[in-house]
Structure 1
Amino acid sequence: MPLETPARIVSELASRGYNAEREAITRIADTADPQATLDRALETMPSDALKLTADHVDQVRTDEQPADSRGSPGPAGGGVDDPSVSTGNDPPKSTDVGGQSPPETRGSRDVDPTLRAIEVANDMTGHSTGTGEYQDFVKVFRDRYEKLSAHLRGRVNHRPTDAIERMGGGSEAALVGMVSDIRTTASGHWLVELEDTNGTFPCLVMKDRPIADLVQQLLFDEVIAVEGTLADDGGILFVDSLYFPDIPRTHSPSTADRHVQAALISDVHVGSQEFMADAWHRFTDWLHTPEAEHVEYLLIAGDMVEGVGVYPDQDEELDIVDVYEQYERFSEYLTEVPGDMEIRMIPGNHDAVRLAEPQPGFDEELREIMTAHDAQVHSNPALVTVEGVTILMYHGVSLDEVIAELPDEEASYDEPHKAMYQLLKKRHVAPQYGGHTRLAPEDRDYLVMEEVPDVFHTGHVHKLGWGKYHNVLALNSGCWQAQTDFQKSVNIDPDAGFAPILDLDTLEMTVRKFA
């Protein structure tokens, strides 16, 4: 394979057992024949040297003139073929012209960065206050209850639990509470215990009522509202209606004022033996073509690297065993992206941050490694508003829990966006505490959807799926990692090498395949 990009040079060096300075890689890529330069550099390196230096490259450069960028216009009438990106054929040729951008990229497009506007909210990086004390948990759950109950109190004539306890039997009553218990009775009815800041109260949903199906969608610790009639002794509420905080059906999403696009991807997993480098090269090559000239934003929803010790025997599937070297390599791959793109990322469960959510962005040591194109890393989740379009970025660990707990028709790996619909309905990205999703107590609940997003972007489950729920576009963007042995063992067949491209002016989406 021709060594036409810094990332491919890095891969070639690694395959031969060498490391190299970043500047050395840049200088090799800038020659007319990178392969010849690399071969000569390695042939003349001292036998005890393991790192290729920029000074050594300078000594053996075969051509002092910068190489023409790939895809530069040739002689008149000498156009190049433009293979279909959607079928993942040979990489399309880039049309950038060398010498017009920083050395870590193959060129920038004709874009005007002054037209861009991006804001980030709900980023808790650097603001963590949780100590794990009991009062921290009380505070975060109280905050969750207050925020979500505010969306429900307008729908029902809510009374606190202690007031309902004083009401007479047969009275109509309504309660907003957090689900603390769900169980079935001997007769097959559903008994749901709701808790508010004053106490708890049992609520009975009869199995033959239409709302009985809604009970199967409930998760512990989510906030709901119920209406019904108290039993004769006043000790239980027979439920007639059940409500979720939910996204309003009337939500009207915002759009950009100009034609501009964003690529929404996740789960790159650099460092894994199954990382699909060729598909990544096709994607980044395509970003340099005229067809992608309007793609000015790249949003990555976590798991930039494979990490270390994430699942049993993971070390047997690693191509790079040091997590910091994984980030160095990822940064090299990121340099293939056009230098004029705005890049925003959040961490995932494979990244080198705490597992408990909300996850803060990277620490200073990792940020020093992740310098390519000044990419910004925010917390998981984060609310990123791009030219007026609000995008809720969440890695998606809780999707495993939603899919495991709810009926297949409501949530499945084959249709991950339907599991996302459930989170939108609950207005919380990870409602259930104490399950598979680790949650950290902070001074407030960063996982509540206080603002209705226009786009909900997740990853984690390595499946591609999208759809609209109450006018909110829900997207799970697949991955860039082929099936691992571990995934085979748990029957996960990943959708790899896809790049959803979102038109920010219309919120229409095109999914391109590069694998």
Structure 2
Amino acid sequence: MPLEAPARIVGELTSRGYNAEREAVTRLASAADPGAALERVLEDIPDDALVVRTEHVEAVLSADGAGGPVGASTDAGADAGSAATTEPSPADPSATPSVSTGTDGARGSEPADPSPVETGGSPSANRSADPAQRSLEIVGDMTGQSTGTGEYSDFVSVFRDRLERLGSKLRGRINHRPATAIQSMPGGSEVAMVGLVNDIRSTASGHWLVELEDATGTFPWLVMKDRDYADLVEELLCDEVLAMEGTLADDSGIAFVDSMHFPDVPRTHEPSTADRHVQAALISDVHVGSQEFMADAWNAFADWLHTPEAQHVEYLLLAGDMVEGVGVYPDQDEELDIVDIYEQYEAFSEHLKKIPGDIEIVMIPGNHDAVRLAEPQPGFDEELREIMSAHDPQIVSNPSMVTVEGVSVLMYHGVSLDEVIAELPEDKASYDDPHKAMYHLLKKRHVAPQFGGHTRLAPEEKDYLIIDEVPDIFHTGHVHKLGFGKYHDVLAINSGCWQAQTDFQKSVNIDPDAGFAPIVDLDTLDVTVQKFS
């Protein structure tokens, strides 16, 4: 038997939509006629099986006898088969995975360092759409575009850009004036201003004082506590862009607010949809390397993608935290199953290979990934991209806009959601309803408006965190909670996670929604949730 026989067997199996246990491939390779043995196995294997297992091969070899035309060529091969009938625990990344290897025949007989091959298309899923019908476009990927050095001028540039671009969405609604011009107007004048929220504080009598800043200076605006819109002040974050209209006090030193305007998503927004029935799976926070990574749930998800039920799932959008990382939170090393960051990504790649190869994959980084913490986060460096090359995924920055068959999806990992939930009242934003916190980011047209808080922000020549164009879908992760809903016809989805509750999460009272995969019909924007845990 030629040395490359195991690799040929693997290739034949994957071309027919099957994975295989390593020992099953070894037993097939040791048969007197591997080709005939393979055909017999595929004839006898159950119709719903996706993985060729050792017992399937053994049943065929035993039926034909060791000396028959498809029998094992050596007794040693039979011994190896009997010694490998117990599958390893999926929680042990060093154990032999229950999929075939992509190594050549010289190493195919060695039990060490097995590596699952990438699966091809899945015949059982019948995912047979013409590739020419697919379209995937990336907008706003800032990987390789970072110019910030941390100088004062960088901070000036990014805030000027924010004020100009978001201000342009507001200036047409009001008769705005610069701060210095308002200061020189007579008392009693009707005035309006567009600016960054510089400060928010309450007065002794319970009113609110909001200070707006533009390129010329600052001006204070008083929101009376008994006005209908007073509760909007509770939604404000420092550094967001806002427009206010009102009346100047007699001494012109302050303005009484009559109305507030946010950049917001227009109520007339009409989302785009795909021209055919096609679906996308939206997931995030896999956290490979953690002791709590749910390998069984992930494998069930990957297996499901090979079934007819998932035949319309042609895209997989992964919103960050592929791995658990190292040193992300106190005493994290005590909760790691894999302590080397590169080995974590290698393990993640092995799990990614279980996804059908005819699914298009887009990935952005998160705060646990090996990229800079400050947002926007460029996509991974070349070394990590090479490790995660299974199925040739599109790896882009956090955030990025992805247009899938005409449907725009804003992918953002979601670190700023912690800040929104902490700053806003519980009835407006909470971990139990993460999509409602996402509504506020859409309203502000910025994924991380507040500078200097929990979310680390990197100054650049332009503000890559602005939501310039209204997306059809807004996809985040990070908070490990599942939630979805619509805001002005924008579908907001936080997709949960693939990590069971860690000790750290217990200490901060986070009960994760793990093992879920929201599936979006791109032709209708309807959502169904598949549960795998």
**Residue 285 (structure 1) aligned to one of 303, 308, 313:** 303
**Residue 324 (structure 1) aligned to one of 342, 361, 364:** 342
| Aligned mates of 2:36, 2:358 — CA distance in 1 | 21
What corresponds to 1:162 in structure 2?
180
Give the superposition deviation at 1:34: 3.1
Give the superposition deviation at 1:188: 1.1
TM norm structure 2: 0.81
Of 104-113 and 381-390, the range deviating more from structure 2: 104-113
Residue type at the aligned position of 1:418: K
**Residue 145 (structure 2) aligned to one of 120, 127, 152:** 127
**1:439 maps to 2:439:** no
**1:414 maps to 2:414:** no
**What is the CA deviation profile of residues 180-227 of structure 1, one whole-angstrom value per residue up to 9, with x for unaligned ones?**
000111111101000001100000001111111000000000000111
What corresponds to 1:184 in structure 2?
202
**What is the CA deviation profile of residues 394-444 of structure 1, one whole-angstrom value per residue up to 9, with x for unaligned ones?**
000000000000001110000000000000000000000000000001110
What corresponds to 2:368 in structure 1?
350
What corresponds to 2:159 in structure 1?
141
Secondary structure of the 1:216 match is helix
Contact kept in structure 1, 2:319 and 2:477, CA below 8 Å: yes
Provide closer, same or farther for how the CA distance between residues 183 and 68 of structure 1 changes in structure 2, counting only shifts above 3 A.
farther
Residue type at the aligned position of 1:409: D
| Aligned mates of 1:455, 1:67 — CA distance in 2 | 49
Residue type at the aligned position of 1:250: T
**1:105 maps to 2:119:** yes
**Residue 263 (structure 1) aligned to one of 281, 285, 288:** 281
Provide closer, same or farther for how the CA distance between residues 74 and 502 of structure 1 changes in structure 2, counting only shifts above 3 A.
farther
- Equivalent positions of 1:64-463 (< 5 A) are 64-65=34-35, 80=48, 103-105=117-119, 107-108=121-122, 109-463=127-481
Residue type at the aligned position of 1:473: L
**What is the CA deviation profile of residues 159-192 of structure 1, one whole-angstrom value per residue up to 9, with x for unaligned ones?**
1101101100011101111000001111111010
| RMSD value, Cα | 2.8
What corresponds to 1:8 in structure 2?
none
**What is the CA deviation profile of residues 309-357 of structure 1, one whole-angstrom value per residue up to 9, with x for unaligned ones?**
0000001111111111111111110111111110000000000000000
Contact kept in structure 2, 1:125 and 1:378, CA below 8 Å: yes
Contact kept in structure 1, 2:496 and 2:513, CA below 8 Å: yes
| Aligned mates of 1:238, 1:349 — CA distance in 2 | 41
**1:508 maps to 2:526:** yes
Structure 1: gaps (5+ residues): 1-21, 42-56, 83-98
Provide closer, same or farther for how the CA distance between residues 67 and 432 of structure 1 changes in structure 2, counting only shifts above 3 A.
farther
Contact kept in structure 1, 2:279 and 2:521, CA below 8 Å: yes
TM norm structure 1: 0.84
Contact kept in structure 1, 2:191 and 2:245, CA below 8 Å: yes
Contact kept in structure 2, 1:32 and 1:67, CA below 8 Å: no
Structure 2: gaps (5+ residues): 1-5, 51-101, 103-115
| Aligned mates of 1:63, 1:33 — CA distance in 2 | 18
Contact kept in structure 1, 2:117 and 2:353, CA below 8 Å: no
Number of aligned residues: 456
Provide closer, same or farther for how the CA distance between residues 489 and 25 of structure 1 changes in structure 2, counting only shifts above 3 A.
farther
Residue type at the aligned position of 1:216: E
Secondary structure of the 1:449 match is coil
| Aligned mates of 1:327, 1:365 — CA distance in 2 | 10
| Aligned mates of 1:319, 1:24 — CA distance in 2 | 33
| Aligned mates of 2:422, 2:528 — CA distance in 1 | 30
Residue type at the aligned position of 1:164: I
Contact kept in structure 1, 2:239 and 2:450, CA below 8 Å: yes
Provide closer, same or farther for how the CA distance between residues 161 and 281 of structure 1 changes in structure 2, counting only shifts above 3 A.
same
Residue type at the aligned position of 1:310: V
Secondary structure of the 1:368 match is helix
Give the superposition deviation at 1:73: 7.5
| Aligned mates of 1:241, 1:62 — CA distance in 2 | 84
What corresponds to 1:499 in structure 2?
517
| Aligned mates of 1:240, 1:190 — CA distance in 2 | 13
Contact kept in structure 2, 1:308 and 1:314, CA below 8 Å: yes
Give the superposition deviation at 1:65: 4.4
**What is the CA deviation profile of residues 467-503 of structure 1, one whole-angstrom value per residue up to 9, with x for unaligned ones?**
0000000000000000000000000000000001111
Q: In terms of Rg, which structure is larger?
A: 2
Secondary structure of the 1:372 match is coil
